Structure 1
Amino acid sequence: MATIKDVAKMAGVSTTTVSHVINNTRHVAEDTKKAVLDAIQQLHYSPSAVARSLKINTTKSIGMIVTTSEAPYFAEIIHAVENHCYRQGYSLFLCNTQNDAEKIKNHLDMLAKKRVDGVLIMCAEYHQESIDLFNSFKGLPMVVMEWGIQHSQSDMILDNSFQGGYLATQYLIENGHQKIGIISGELSKTTAKTRFQGFEKAIHEAGLTTNPNWIQEGFFEPEDGYECMNKILDQQELPTAVFCCNDVMALGAISAITEKGLRVPDDISIIGYDNIHSSRFYAPPLTTIHQSKARLGEQALKLLFERIHHKNHEKEVIEIYPELVVRKSVKNLLAT
């Protein structure tokens, strides 16, 4: 592999002159500049990225710490962030934590050693230990996104989950459903709790009551949708519709219903939440609540770039709005 000394020797100049040509840091005579550029081309010389990063104090790289890249919702956000990084000429280092505080610490130490220009942190939840750790990295530009108001020093994603839960339940009611169940996420978590509260409001406003056996709590995984739906199906009286608080739980619920010899939506209607890419290919295609993962990822990264380039450290809020996406998994009982 050619070195800067090889280029200097072929061009008949000093290594300092070669450096000035590469970095455009001083005027160099045109014939000298041409000799250096010709030598670079002939030798296929590429300046050391590490050396250049030390000189200009940037590595053109970003770190991203997430709960898990396997979850479809996070995967789509990560895809949006990676695309935006690529368009801006940045590389992305991705780190999964599984909400483990020790993993978060190790990932942050590794990213700092790699001299990334900034870190985007978007986990499902944070322990106080992790929040204290983020605050200790004073010299590293960072965006720490939280779902809901929990820690005053963090940025916030305002996803209007309450409105989304209300929209989903209201749509079921508008289609004639009065016996409605719900498979929620872990209700100690902000996102799951607010979606459930939206469900409760729509039920209350319609003057309906819900059988407590139709209210099941999972952990936003397809296995939870499957198991919770089986618990509902074991009841003597069944709901005509179930609101699943994310799409992957809806997939599990549909599998449980199908295994019992029932059909969606003829026997039980299902509505999901998140509008992940694969939800349109479910059998049947899933009616769901849309959230713009691409906008969320790009807005968070844009905020990080502002902190990198302009040292803006004011707490920020990124707001996204839920929208109903109608497909084929909800039956209109009023039309039959």
Structure 2
Amino acid sequence: MITIYDIAEKAGVSAMTVSRVINNTGRISEETRKRVRKVMEELHYIPNALARSLVSQKTNLISLLITDITNPFYTTLARGAEDAAKKAGYRLLFANSDEDYVKEKDYVDMILSTRVDGVLFAPAGDHSHDNLLQLQKHQIPFVVLDREIPGIDADVVLGDSKEGARNLVAHLIALGHHRIALVNGKQDVSTARLRYTGYKEAHLLHGLALDESLVVHLGFRDFQDDSALNELFQLNEPPTAIFAANNMLAVGVIQSLRQRGLQVPGDISVVCFDDFGPTGAINPFLTVAAQPAYQFGQLGMQLLIERIEGDASVESRRIMLPSELIIRSSTQQLLPLTT
């Protein structure tokens, strides 16, 4: 293993001089600096990041904690965060909570022991409050992404979940659908609450009565148990359209519908919140409220780096990004029943 003493011997300088070159401290001539760096390259020496951080109190590491790396929204968000971090000279550590508060807490404990400079945090839900308090207690800067947490004062980058949901449901109503089911996330997640609110507002604005039997609150991650659809289709008046509150739920819904022999949109229309990233461009099918996922990560990282490198006492900032209604082939005009 190559040490700074090996570098010093070959470069003809002291170990202290090598240390100053590595940490960019002290007064050293440019000629000496170049000579030391050349020897470091020749010997393939990689400075010890932990040792350097003990001197500088800075690691240039940022943690990105998200809820589901398999969700294309978070995959694209992560790319935006990574690109912004690299441009500013930071490296990213990824963590995935799987919408699980205990797993999220384990990652927060790891973050506290890793000496990261800051955290981009997409919370699992309202109970993430205690995990975020731990970061505040240890004075680690963080920015909250996608979901707000009551009682936490922090920079946050959000999507307009309420407006996006309202637009999706209004689109279905315009096609003649009055029995619209909502397959949603759990109500301890702010985005699920807001999408439910948008769903209700769309009914109110168009003079439709709200039937709570058409509303199902599941988890956001997947759709492993499709018994909820059984209940929907056993209603006296089953739905003619389904609003899936995120893309992962939409995949499960469509798979379940096909297993029942139902065609989308021939037998039932389906819309969802969030698009499917680059893979969705291969065969675009679902009508969606698409969020600018890359900008979530990019803007969140910019806010976080400003916190790390600037005045931490600046008032918290709140950025809300709009969604875009993209109409594709998963919806169609509802034809009146013939007798």
TM-score normalised to structure 1 length: 0.86
Aligned counterpart, 1:154: 154
1:302, CA displacement in angstroms? 0.9
Tell me the equivalent position of 1:333.
334
- The alpha-carbon distance between structure 1 residues 42 and 126, as it changes in their structure 2 partners (threshold 3 A), is same
**Match in the other structure for 1:25:** 26
Given the superposition, is the C-alpha separation of residues 254 and 100 from structure 1 closer, same or farther in structure 2, using an over 3 Å criterion? closer
Query: Is the aligned partner of 1:302 residue 2:273?
Result: no
The answer to whether the 8 A contact 1:168-1:289 is kept is: yes
Q: Deviations over 1:21-60 (max 9, x none)?
A: 5536324273x55654554344333333333333333222
- 2:324 counterpart of 1:323: yes
RMSD: 3.0
Assess if the C-alpha contact under 8 Å between 2:121 and 2:143 holds in 1.
Answer: yes
| 1:109/1:239 CA distance change after superposition, 3 Å | closer
- The SS at the match of 2:216 is strand
Residue deviations 1:105-162, cap 9 Å, x none? Answer: 4433432332211122221314343343233112x22224473462152333442222
The letter for the 2-side match of 1:327 is R
Partner Cα distance (2:233, 2:76) in 1: 32
Q: How far does the alpha carbon of each residue in 1:295-323 deviate from its partner, in whole angstroms, 9 at most, with x for none?
A: 11111111110111013342121211121
Q: Which amino acid aligns with 2:288?
A: T
Partners of 2:37 and 2:334 in 1: CA distance: 74
In 2, Cα distance between the equivalents of 1:217 and 1:302? 34
Change over 3 Å in CA distance of 1:214–1:309 after alignment to 2: same
CA gap of 1:13–1:123, structure 2 versus 1, over 3 A, is: same
Contact 1:157/1:318 (8 A) holds in 2: yes
Query: Is residue 259 of structure 2 the alignment partner of residue 253 of structure 1?
Result: no
Counterpart in the other structure of 2:52? 52
* Superposition pairs of residues 157-172 of structure 1, within 5 angstroms: 157-172=157-172
2:112 — aligned with what? 112
Which runs of 5 or more structure 2 residues have no equivalent in the other structure? none
Higher relative contact order (CA 8 A, sep 6+): 2
Taking a change above 3 Å as real, the CA distance of residues 335 and 24 of structure 1, as seen in their structure-2 partners, is farther
Please state whether the residue corresponding to 1:124 is helix, strand or coil.
coil
Q: Is the 1:179–1:210 contact (alpha carbons within 8 Å) kept by the matching residues of 2?
A: no
Partner residue of 1:124? 124
Seen in structure 2, the aligned counterparts of structure 1 residues 221 and 34 have a Cα distance that, compared at 3 Å, is closer
Distance 1:47 1:98, change over 3 A: closer
Give 2:192's aligned residue: 192
Cα–Cα, structure 1 residues 261 and 154, in superposed 2: closer, same or farther, change >3 Å? same
Query: What is the DSSP-based 3-state SS (H/G/I as helix, E as strand, rest coil) of the residue aligned with 2:273?
Result: coil
SS of 1:47's equivalent in the other structure is coil
Residue 209 of structure 1 aligns with an amino acid whose one-letter code is A
Using the TM superposition, give the Cα deviation of residue 270 of structure 1 relative to its aligned residue in structure 2, in angstroms.
0.5
Residues in 2 aligned to 1:302 and 1:124: alpha-carbon distance in whole angstroms: 22
- TM-score of the two chains, using structure 2 as the length reference: 0.85
Q: State the one-letter code of the partner of 1:45.
A: Y
CA distance in 2: counterparts of 1:216 and 1:251, whole angstroms: 16
Distance 2:274 2:225 in 1: 15
Separation (CA, whole Å) in 2 of partners of 1:58 and 1:82: 18
Deviations 1:72-105 (A, max 9, x none): 4333322322233233332222233355555444
The aligned residue for residue 287 of structure 1 is 287
Mapping for residues 201-216 of structure 1, pairs under 5 Å: 201-216=201-216
Structure 1 pair 121–101 and aligned structure 2 pair: CA distance change class (3 A): same
Write the letter of the residue equivalent to 2:286: L
Gap change, CA 1:131 and 1:328, over 3 Å in 2: same
Flag the 1:308–1:181 CA change in 2: closer, same or farther, 3 A. same
Q: Greater shift after overlay, 11-20 or 257-266?
A: 11-20
SS at match of 1:64: strand
AA partner of residue 87 (structure 1): K
Q: Distance in 1 between matches of 2:30 and 2:197?
A: 71
Contact between 1:122 and 1:145, CA under 8 Å: does it hold in 2? yes
When structure 1 is superposed on structure 2, of 263-272 and 47-56 the one drifting more is 47-56
- Gaps spanning 5+ residues in structure 1: where? none
Cα displacement (A) at 1:258: 1.4
After TM superposition, the structure 1 stretch with the greater mean CA deviation from structure 2, 78-87 or 293-302, is 78-87
Please state whether the residue corresponding to 1:223 is helix, strand or coil: coil
Per-residue CA deviations over 1:184-243 (Å, capped at 9, x if unaligned) read 222343322221222222222222235443332222243268332232223343322121
Q: Distance in 2 between matches of 1:57 and 1:277?
A: 38
